[in-house]
Amino acid sequence: MASQPDFIQINDLLQPQFPEGVEEALNAAEAEATTINWSVNAVKEQAANKTGLNDFGDDLIEEPLELLTGIGDSIETFRPSGKVSFWNTLVANATQRLLLVDYIKRNPEIHEIEIKRPIIIAGQPRTGTTHLHNLIAADPSLRSLQYWESLEPVPPREEQGKEFSVDPRYQRTETNLAGLNYALPHFRRMHDMYAAHVHEEIQLMMPAFGSMLWETTLCDDRYRDWYIRTDQTPWYQWMKTVLKVCTHIGGGQRWILKSPQHVEQFQPLLTTFPDATFLCTHRDPVSVAQSLSTMITYTARTYTKPQHLRDVGRYWIERSETMSRRGAEDRHILPSSQAMDVRFHEFMADDVAMVERIYEFAGQPFTQQVQDAMNAFMQEHPRGKYGRLTYDITQFGYDKAERKKALQFYINQFGLREENP
């Protein structure tokens, strides 16, 4: 596809205008939303009926699932389509929990698999994490998690053990993404999602009903507060187990992982992966806040009532600050011999040179084959392939000067180039 480097501003960010047929499809969910039984038992029963299984493993899921169903029942910001989508997501992850527990019981050797010396990118969204992840994942000697695989690490029982020309999980993801890209035509300008796109491993926490990913949908203080005050180590350990399942099914050795969540979970991350190499990405936090708030507000339009979209942006501007503060305070937790800071302006100046430095630090061979693979990826996926955006933080009731003052500490601590003088 030809490159489209033009910049646009999303003029309907807070008053969405959808492509033809989308509004009607969203409104069609109204009747279904009123019939949902928001209870843990109802989620479990529907998942059990879909799989023919009933063992959800230990009780790790109980507290967060109770919280999430309660929020689904009482949340006032969702459109009816949001309620239906949220319910379906709960059931899908309960279904995957059953399949994972069943698969592990039938293949106990999974517990003997080791996730050795992973390379883990830990940085807030919009700090170059995706580009860095994509480049390193292009290395054929490393194992990464593709989006379709992250959604269904274990296929339905009727698909297990069968040969397909194209994995049905991949096909299902392609279909869903086609709908997403039609309803949200500017999303690709911010984050190009496709079935084979390398994805965040915290997606694997969702069948245990942990992970900041739930918060990105809800923007609800109740889940945020539970997530922050609860030691997330058990959910990280679960995620590591699912990585072992993915290794058992799809092979691979050294993993390349990435998630913004890690910046406020350094201790659980280190406890779970004590021999990892950690890449901490940093960027002017004002740019992070305005880009992140715009991206999540834009995606929220399909499930959030328009009158609450401004609140979504404000939520993530404030949340970005708390993540910056937590990451700055806890950066010392990661051993200096295992953790490297990657500054956005340096990475963007020469991305391949930065990756070569990272490989030397991580003890990973940087061969001509590796560089060729990265160059091929960039040729196929150039920056701005679908065009780019300009951002306006004032529409959320903030200004850059105020945010700069609040976040200057982060720029100073990590020696960042200011993008918002």
The 10s digit of each residue's pLDDT in 215-268 is 999 999 999 999 999 999 999 999 999 999 999 999 999 999 999 999 999 999
Cα separations in angstroms, 128 against 36, 131, 315, 358, 399 = 40, 5, 22, 14, 23
Q: Name 388's bridge partners.
A: 7
Burial zone of 240 (CB within 10 Å; 0-12 exposed, 13-18 middle, 19+ buried): middle
What is the pTM (predicted TM-score) of this model?
0.96
Q: Enumerate residues 6+ apart whose C-beta is below 8 A from 7.
A: 387, 388, 389, 390
Beta pairing class for 339-343 and 277-282: parallel
CA distance 149 to 403: 38
CA-angle at 105, arms to 102 and 110, nearest 5° = 110
The 10s digit of each residue's pLDDT in 301-313 is 999 999 999 999 9
Domain ranges, ordered by start, for the chain: 118-414
Give the residue carrying structure tokens 């920056």.
383
For the domain 118-414, what is the CATH superfamily, name and number? P-loop containing nucleotide triphosphate hydrolases (3.40.50.300)
Percent of the chain with pLDDT over 70: 99
Which tokens go with 393?
A: 């933080």
The 10s digit of each residue's pLDDT in 130-144 is 999 999 999 999 999
For residue 385, what pLDDT band results from cuts at 50, 70 and 90? confident
Please give the distance of CA 61 from its chain centroid, rounded to a whole number.
20
Cα-based torsion angle of the residue sequence 189, 194, 196, 199 in order, rounded to the nearest 10 degrees: 60
**Which DSSP helix (H) or strand (E) runs through 8?**
strand 7-8
Give the residue carrying structure tokens 């918002």.
420
Query: Could you tell me the sign of the dihedral formed by the alpha carbons of 129, 271, 89, 229, in that order?
Result: negative
Which tokens go with 421?
A: 């003088």
For residue 388, what pLDDT band results from cuts at 50, 70 and 90? confident
CB 190 within 8 A of CB 294: yes
CB 168 within 8 A of CB 148: no
Q: Which pairs from 26-30 meet CB under 8 Å and 24+ separation? A: 26/79, 26/80, 26/81, 26/302, 27/80, 27/81, 29/79, 29/80, 29/81, 29/83, 29/84, 29/85, 30/80
* pLDDT surpasses 50 at 2: no
User: Is residue 175 classed as helix, strand or coil in its secondary structure?
Assistant: helix
Cα separations in angstroms, 41 against 55, 58, 156, 238 = 13, 16, 21, 22
CA distance 419 to 17: 31
* pLDDT surpasses 60 at 338: yes
* pLDDT surpasses 60 at 206: yes
Which tokens go with 340?
A: 């490297």
The 10s digit of each residue's pLDDT in 181-195 is 999 999 999 988 899
Which tokens go with 305?
A: 């009532």
**Which DSSP helix (H) or strand (E) runs through 342?**
strand 339-343
Beta pairing class for 256-258 and 119-122: parallel
How many CB atoms neighbour CB 44 within 10 A?
20
Q: At what angle do helices 309-330 and 285-300 cross, to 10 degrees?
A: 140
The pLDDT value recorded for residue 384 is: 79
CA distance 78 to 30: 11
Which tokens go with 111?
A: 């517990």
